[in-house]
């Protein structure tokens, strides 16, 4: 398989076509952004750490029967993935209140959410990724109702697998964001799963081990990502 031209450069990853129309190369860069790209920095080793972290998690999810776009690691900061037709929505599940939920509803950070919540956001930086719902997704044709229902079902299935995996390694999976797409008519998990797109706290101290360290200027960002990975058994 041969890497060809750059198709798209996002805030932290670039996507390349290959000689196979069904496959793409995802390049994980060291770029780190927050607040819709208003805060940007390069963090040494981040591309490599997130690439390997994502490969490990995607493999675990595939083992649990969740269809993912991940095919294989091809270098320290590149992976081959299936080319999906992406739904322009983000699916967020929360086990513990944090971030925008706390700001929006005025609830206390750290409150346990039972049952876990499910939220949808439109991927649109210019609009600041506004919150949407199932009705809006259907009306505007961002996904078909059955596809969205499947994405929601898979998002909760991911929670069952990962909540336990993180808990067994002494961590709390607070919340996370997933993106889905369609491959041969099937709803498939796309994008990435890394500490850039989830919140992880130490189970005992509740210390933040995810991108909130970058958002809040706490330092030790990549060291924390690597510690999360190390506890899960990832070799960087």
Stretch that binds ligand UDP, among 38-46, 90-98, 134-142, 161-169 (CB under 6 A): 90-98
Binding flag, residue 213, ligand UDP (CB under 6 A) = no
Site string for ligand UDP, 123-162 (x = CB under 6 A): ------x---------------------------------
Stretch that binds ligand UDP, among 71-79, 80-88, 91-99, 180-188 (CB under 6 A): 91-99
Binding flag, residue 192, ligand UDP (CB under 6 A) = no
With CB under 6 A as the contact rule, the residue among 92, 96, 221, 228 that binds ligand UDP is 92
Binding flag, residue 99, ligand UDP (CB under 6 A) = yes
Quick one: which of 116, 77, 78, 81 has its CA closest to 96? 116
* CB contact at 8 A, 12 and 2: no
* CB contact at 8 A, 57 and 64: no
Binding flag, residue 83, ligand UDP (CB under 6 A) = no
- Euclidean distance between CA atoms 134 and 122, whole angstroms: 11
Name beta bridge partners: 32. Answer: 41
- Euclidean distance between CA atoms 46 and 25, whole angstroms: 17
Give me the least distance between CB of 131 and ligand UDP, in Å please.
Answer: 8
| Region 169-188 residues binding ligand UDP, contact defined as CB under 6 A | 175-177
Give me the least distance between CB of 177 and ligand UDP, in Å please.
Answer: 3
Residue 76 DSSP code: T
Using CB under 6 A as the binding criterion, the count of chain residues that bind ligand UDP stands at: 14
Give me the least distance between CB of 145 and ligand UDP, in Å please.
Answer: 23
Stretch that binds ligand UDP, among 15-23, 57-65, 94-102, 222-230 (CB under 6 A): 94-102
Binding flag, residue 197, ligand UDP (CB under 6 A) = yes
Stretch that binds ligand UDP, among 81-89, 98-106, 160-168, 222-230 (CB under 6 A): 98-106
> Which residues, 6+ apart, have CB-to-CB distance to 222 below 8 Å?
43, 44, 45, 46, 49
Residue with tokens 């992406």: 86
DSSP assignment of 139-196? HTTSS-HHHHHHHHHHHHHHHHHHHHHHHHTTEEEEEEEE-EEEETTEEEE-S--STT
Q: How many CB atoms lie within 10 A of CB 105?
A: 10
List of residues contacting ligand UDP (CB under 6 A): 90, 92, 98-101, 129, 175-177, 197-199, 211
């Amino acid at each position: 398989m041969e890497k060809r031209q750059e198709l798209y450069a996002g805030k932290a990853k670039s996507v390349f076509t290959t000689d196979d129309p069904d496959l793409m190369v995802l390049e994980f860069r060291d770029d780190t952004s927050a607040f819709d790209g208003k805060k940007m920095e390069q963090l040494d080793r981040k591309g490599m750490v997130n690439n390997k972290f994502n490969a490990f998690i995607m493999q675990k999810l595939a083992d649990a029967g969740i269809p993912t776009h991940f095919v294989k690691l091809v270098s320290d900061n590149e992976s081959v993935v299936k080319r999906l037709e992406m739904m322009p929505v983000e699916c967020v599940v929360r086990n513990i209140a944090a971030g925008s939920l706390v700001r929006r509803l005025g609830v206390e950070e750290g409150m346990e959410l039972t049952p876990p919540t499910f939220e949808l956001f439109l991927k649109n930086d210019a609009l600041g990724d506004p919150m949407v719902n199932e009705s809006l997704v259907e009306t505007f044709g961002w996904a078909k109702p059955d596809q969205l229902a499947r994405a929601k079902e898979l998002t909760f299935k991911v929670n069952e697998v990962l909540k336990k995996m993180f808990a067994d390694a002494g961590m709390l999976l607070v919340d996370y964001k997933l993106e889905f797409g369609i491959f041969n008519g099937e709803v498939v998990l796309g994008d990435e799963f890394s500490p850039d797109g989830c919140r992880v706290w130490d189970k005992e101290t509740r210390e933040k081990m995810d991108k909130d360290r970058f958002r809040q200027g706490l330092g030790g960002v990549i060291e924390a990502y690597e510690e999360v990975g190390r506890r899960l058994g990832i070799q960087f």
